[in-house]
Amino acid sequence: MKFKKQLALLVLLLVCAGRTKADVLIALGMAVTALGSAAVPEIYCYFRECCNEKWIFFDGGLQADIEGQLFGQHIASSIILNAVTGFMSNSIPKKPLVLSLHGLTGTGKTFASKLIAKSLFRKGMDSGHVHMFSSELHFPHKSQTELYKSQLQHWIRGNVTNCAHSMFIFDEMDKMHPGLIDGIKPFLDYHDKLDGVSYRRAIFIFLSNAGGDILTQTALDFWKAGKKREEIKLKDVETALSLSVFNNKDNGFWHTGLIEKGLVDFFVPFLPLEHSHVVQCVMAEMRAKGRTPDSSIAYEVAGEMSFFPKDERIFSVTGCKAIASRLNFF
């Protein structure tokens, strides 16, 4: 029977190649007739993304991507790699994986979340199982906070019901209305199931600029002391970072139960980027565009960027965020 299915699928692929939608539907109907209705899911998942091992898998590519593309973030790289690897290796996790990424703009938070999605889903960020929310776009009005809570709960419940391995990314947490994110607290807690649905295989990632000032000051202190940034450890910033976002009234984590109940697995610090890291970003962007990396151009592009503090000019104001447009100019 297995050979029969494989043969039918091969024939179906050949028949559908270059055909119209109507032809595909006819061919699909013929295959179902030949194999029976039980074969419908298998045939469908050859053409459309499904919640199965063909479309969702962890192949170890995350380490190579992080080492080769995420520059200047030794703490974040280690935490993300170990956290995601450990979570995906656990066949029975006790709770969803919850990561909160903090740092100034352009330091790699959004890029890191894309690398995670790429390592888990065949379609990466284009996967139907990856959902990204922007605070200013999806939750703009403070007066509608309770409505947003209800909508968010409904959205998450529906998508996790459809696929346990769903991934949710919340961008601009520093601009989210306080109290809103507590609406999803039950989904992040240690529950086997809620109303018959298990959320333990889902991944939640929060992106925020909050705490960037603390990370910058820590990096600056190490620099002034003549220490390498690689000497900065998680313990040097984690407590101050979590307390900062918890007590800041102007961000979505203000007095949130997610922090109070210890539901955030890791507060991941993204340090401000230095000149050498910007050069690496330019070189990587050249490779991504199919060009031969040219160090002289990379240094020229980096040299045109703005750095702070004013006198020392150590850290990039926008990190690597504007690299693509600057490179096009050069």
Q: Are residues 76 and 116 in the same domain?
A: yes
Q: Are residues 240 and 125 in the same domain?
A: yes
Does the pTM surpass 0.85? The reply is yes
Q: Are residues 37 and 115 in the same domain?
A: no
Q: Is 249 annotated as belonging to a binding site?
A: no
pLDDT tens column, 14-23: 455 555 656 6
Give the residue from 231, 253, 270 where a domain finishes. Answer: 270
Q: Is 105 annotated as belonging to a binding site?
A: yes
The pLDDT of residue 151 is 96
Q: Is 107 annotated as belonging to a binding site?
A: yes
The pLDDT of residue 244 is 87
Tokens 């690597």 map to which residue? Answer: 320
| Residues of the chain under the 50 pLDDT cut | 3, 7, 14
The pLDDT of residue 48 is 87
In a domain, 53, yes or no: no
In a domain, 55, yes or no: no
Q: Quick check: helix, strand or coil at residue 170?
A: strand
**What are the Cα distances from residue 77, in Å, to 4, 70, 84, 155, 274?**
46, 7, 11, 30, 17
pLDDT tens column, 121-139: 999 999 999 999 999 999 9
Q: Which runs of consecutive H residues, i.e. helices, occur in 36-142?
A: 40-47, 61-69, 74-89, 109-120, 135-138
Q: Are residues 106 and 221 in the same domain?
A: yes
Q: Is 104 annotated as belonging to a binding site?
A: yes
Alpha-carbon span 151 to 183, nearest angstrom: 10
Q: Are residues 37 and 89 in the same domain?
A: no
In which domain, by residue range, is 67 found? 61-270
Q: Are residues 253 and 291 in the same domain?
A: no
Q: Is 161 annotated as belonging to a binding site?
A: no
Q: Is 106 annotated as belonging to a binding site?
A: yes
Q: Is 108 annotated as belonging to a binding site?
A: yes
Q: Is 224 annotated as belonging to a binding site?
A: no
Q: Are residues 145 and 279 in the same domain?
A: no
Q: Are residues 70 and 113 in the same domain?
A: yes
The pLDDT of residue 248 is 82
The pLDDT of residue 286 is 93
